[in-house]
Amino acid sequence: MSIRGGGSFLPAAPLVDDIITITCPASTYCHGGTIDSTDPCKTTCSKVVPRDFTPQVGCVDVCDVGTITGASVATVSTGAGGADCSGPTVPGEYYTPTCRFDEIPGFTCVNLPTVATCTDPGVGMPPTPLSQTIAGASCVENSCAAYTFGTGVISSTTAPACNNGEVLTSVTHPTCNIMCDQASGYQAGLASVDCGMAGGVATTSLVCSPVPCPLNSHFVALTNCVCDTGFEGVITYNGVTFIGTCTEIQCVPFKYPPGVTDGTTPTPCTDSVQLLHTSTCTLSCADGYIPGAGVLSCNSMTKISTTPLTCTEKACQPYLFGTGVVGGFVDGCVNGISLTQVTDSSCSVECATGYHGTAATISCPMTKNDGDVADGTITCTQNQCLAYSLKTGERYGTVAGCTTNPIALGTTCSIECDTGYSGSAGSVTCPGNAIDGATPTVVVDPGCVATCLSYTCSVGYSGPLLPNKVCLVGGCDDATCCTIAPCPADSDPVTMPTVSCPCKTGFTGTPTWDSMTMSWSHVCAANCGGFICPVGFESKGFASNILCNPTGCTQPVCCDQDCIVPTVVGATVTGCTEAVPVRHGTVCTWVAEVGAVCTNVGSITCNDGTFPLTPTCAVDSCDVNLFDFATANIVLGQSLTPCDTVPQGTCSLTCEVGYTGPAVVSCTAVNTWTINAACQPNACLVPLGGTADPLATDYSDCLAKKSGESCQPTCNPGYYPNGHIVLTCAAMTGEFDASGSVCSVITCTGSVFDPVPHNAQAVTTGGICDTALLPPCTLTCLAGYSGTPTLSCTAVDTWTVTGSCTDTCSSRSAVTIVGTDLPTGTDIGTCTVGAFTATSPTCQVSNCEAGYTTTPGPATITCSNTGVLSVALNGFSCTEVDCQVYTPAANVDRGTCSNPIILQPHTNPTCDLQCATGYQVRSGTGELRCWPHSLVPTTTLICEAIECDSLLAPDPDLINAEQLGSVFPCNTVPKVPCPLTCKPGYTPGTPAPELTCETTGVWNFLGSCEPERCDVAFDFAANNLVVQGLMGCNTVPDAPCMVACNAGWSGTASVSCTAVDTWTVTIPCTENMCKPFNFPDGITGGIGAGACTDGIVLGSTTQSSCDVTCLPGYRPDPATNAGTVTCSSTANNGDDPQVDITCQMTCGLYGCVHPQAILRLFAPSSIDCLGTPAVCTDTRCCVGVIVDPTVLTTTENGRFPVSSLFDSCQNQQLTSLFQL
């Protein structure tokens, strides 16, 4: 700004009473006239000039102040015409402002003048110089130090952008923009860097912080976050933020092993619990296991929950079999079994063969401690036969003899004939397999026959009378063979069950039998046993042992007299009655009575009419001066006679005033007074409280009080104690000492109740709410609160509120509306109990639980005054997502799972897998579960191939295959068949043989080895065999076929197929041979090559015959010239050969042997003299021979005596022709 000056004054032409208007040139200012208000440059002005006045108007120069960059001009004071420093100012009387120069903010000036004034020089005069000049003044713009980028800061994409090291000034370049480097992992941020007016240090509000890692993760580098220990997930950085979440690792379900169950505090586990890595729960051992406790924790590395707890099943002591005990038929025990309380808690036992007893169950119940003895017992008794019942004439043997006791199993005992009987030694046995109580078996019956020869009469009998006689058919006995011996004097005979002679009544002794003399000894002596004592007496002691005189018993000797029980004053008797007789030996007991001093008391026995001791007693007495009348509330001075002695009775005494009697006293021991009936204090009247309000005091405690007793009344509601709180009943008056008011009324007139802190407002009753006697004031809860509070004045100026107003919404939780008003899957966050209040009734949710996708809202939940929750969704929704598609392992089948397997984490979180065919569960369960946080289905199921037991592999011999050295890998499923090699003589069939482990874990042969065959015909005839067929033995190398030899051949012939189409006779047939043929008489070998030889052996086939003929003197039969000897083709070894010819000797050719014998004269030569046997003899064919052979054996003088001739051929007797 400048105040210009230095121009010339230019007067205008004068006018008379006219208006002069002038226009000043540039750089001048109109002076002396009225400036045209429409002229911004103030160069035009006008003035009315009288004609006779010289106008003083014109143009003058202005005062020029000058311009200073960085400074401003301000008007200190204006000229008279109102001129200021905002424009050119004309100096003069009316236009002389004063100006001030100031630093513009952002600049620093030096030598800057304070003020400058443009003076008025007058019209036509040059302006005067300024009072101060601005020469030498200067201003410099302030600046800030170079700005260096901080951590994470980069140039902004918004202009003007800062450069690292940028220098800012206060005015011309006061700011630039920076931002955070998101690409390097910093949170988004944009701000300016500003240089203030004063310069110095540039400032900014921007602070770049790293983008935070997601929850439960930490930095590895600025753009790299990893999940914390115990959490899992994948986190990536997209240049702006981290994507991904870290979910806490959850272990696979923990399935309780046997014996493990839920723990107790603080957090019990449940079966199949899935723990987070930071969580634990408690386990304990189940009933039936040794108590124990442990903690289950999740291993974040293996995702398997583990616990050190091991539960050992409680077991009872080993049960050992007793004698004869074996395991039962059903669930039988084994000897030494240790039963447990859960898995094997019981078993059965029974008695073995040969024993009997009731079967039992041995158990180890839950009530047992570890190591206790198992419950259950069994007693097995060895079976035994009944005792042998002797038959008539038998007795038990003397060596290993039977007895009257039962006979043990497998035991033999002897029996024999009793005296008077004869027979052999016998034996009886109890078989080893006999049942209990069986009748024993007689092995050898002694066959006892009765005889009296050695019979011995029993005690009391003499004889036998006839020792050689059989007394009874069934045996001897005393009644038949003996006589009863007479009893001695003073005894009577008894015959049942055996003979005896007991002494008569009044006698004592035991007669004895003398077997030698067969008589009784006399020992009976008289006694008192049968004596009857008269009335008042009884038998002495043990009367049977007291002998009397031989003539009988008398009262003085044998009897005792009764006693009379004495009466003892001061003592009491028990067991007897005073003055009543008691029998001898009775015991009476005396005891001193109270107040008496006695001697000879105790138990005393009656002895023959008297008691050896008699009790005596002296009574006690009391001193009357020792009786305390006052304490007993009895009027003093009354007589105590006769109750001052024992046992003289009691006294009735008068009670003092205030007491009711009479009192009853007695002397119960020396100087011992006893009050039998005491004085009873009279009841007091209940006070009414004098002038006090009768409703103020409750005297319930004062009811039924008696003289001298106290009570404590209480104040009724609305009253308070007034000091007289304990009252005593005066005995003399029978009244309480209440003289004034005990309780005073409570008022609250000096206190004002404020209901607001109680969330209530007061509703007065009639405008009064003062004392507790009035109905309590009603309070109502403020909006948003509920309850039924009442207000009472409970003490002076003390208000008490009973009940309360509770915040209706404070107990509300958004969880109750999830699935209805809120979408299923909503994560209610903090909108739980306590989130809603009357003063803050709203809460927002904006997230869904894991396993859902979120459509942003947020949803606003509002709790009404009545506690009802309502929702404004604002577009918020939750949609359940699918889990990853699960592909099971090759050895796992889908089971109940869908195809493909897609689970939903909430509505369909599980399905069941199962092991594929040929596989079995090694560990885990088949449950497949989708986890909401990871959306990755997992299962604990591990399947393993089913294996066949190598040791149980079938024998390849069964299919004629070679043995296997190893069955691996064919012992597992899926099937890996093992090929088999056929044995020699066999060839693989179709299919070829192999061994396979089936999916059931059972071995199976597949294919076959077929035997090699002989298909050519076998030549039976060439091998002397009978055709019987060779089915089943035409294969190699089958067992030989047993075939039959042809008739005439022998042997166990067999044929085998030893190679393909190769038959081999392994055992050949041998030809049967007849016996050697020896020539009989008259036969000899035939003529020619086929002639038999003597002793020839013929066969059934190769040389089966030969020729024979008759010797001279023999004729053949049939009449042929030759015969044949034949061994039959069906002959067996050793058969006789057959001869088809017989040769008979003829008599014509016979030469008599005896020199004096001649052939029969009448027998032709053709007559066969042969007979039977077939041989010719002199006897048959000659004459002169004695016919009877016996005659021929005897000679007379060497000659045969011949009496006749006999023709043996003609069977005729001939006339003797001559003498031999």
3-state helix/strand/coil string of 851-866: CEEEECCCEEEEECCC
CA–CA separation, 593 and 677 (whole Å): 22
Structure tokens at 1014: 């002989």
- pLDDT in the model for residue 1158: 67
Structure tokens at 296: 């289950």
Q: Count CB atoms within 10 A of the CB of residue 329.
A: 9
Q: Count CB atoms within 10 A of the CB of residue 745.
A: 19
CA–CA separation, 924 and 914 (whole Å): 11
- pLDDT in the model for residue 174: 93
750: nearest Cα among 796, 792, 794: 796
Contact 860, 874 (CB under 8 A): yes
- pLDDT in the model for residue 1107: 92
Report which secondary-structure segment, H or E, holds 2.
none
Contact 845, 859 (CB under 8 A): yes
CA–CA separation, 606 and 246 (whole Å): 108
- pLDDT in the model for residue 35: 65
Cis previous bond, 1201, omega within 30: no
Length of the chain: 1220
Tell me the three state secondary structure of residue 297. strand
The pairing of strands 602-605 and 650-653 is unpaired
| β-sheet bridge partners, residue 763 | 778
CA–CA separation, 406 and 880 (whole Å): 88
Q: What Å distances lie between residue 1173 and 549, 1136, 1160, CA to CA?
A: 118, 20, 20
What residues contact 1211, with CB distance under 8 A and at least 6 apart? none
Helices (H) and strands (E) in the chain, counts: 4, 105
User: Torsion angle, CA of 782/787/790/795, rounded to 10 degrees?
Assistant: -90
Residue entry with tokens 């800061």: 153
Cis previous bond, 969, omega within 30: yes
CA–CA separation, 57 and 418 (whole Å): 200
92: nearest Cα among 66, 67, 134, 58: 58
Contact 70, 39 (CB under 8 A): no
Contact 1081, 1175 (CB under 8 A): yes
- pLDDT in the model for residue 373: 92
Structure tokens at 530: 């049968």
- pLDDT in the model for residue 28: 63
Q: What Å distances lie between residue 1032 and 105, 689, 961, 1018, 1149, CA to CA?
A: 132, 135, 19, 14, 69
Listed as ranges, residues in the chain with pLDDT below 50 are: 1-16, 90-94, 123-124, 128-131, 467-469, 473-474, 542-545, 549-550, 689-692, 765-768, 772-773, 1161-1167, 1172, 1185-1220
Edge to edge, the sheet with strand 1138-1139 lists: 1083-1085, 1105-1110, 1123-1126, 1138-1139
In terms of pTM, does the model score above 0.75? no
CA–CA separation, 873 and 814 (whole Å): 13
- pLDDT in the model for residue 1197: 36
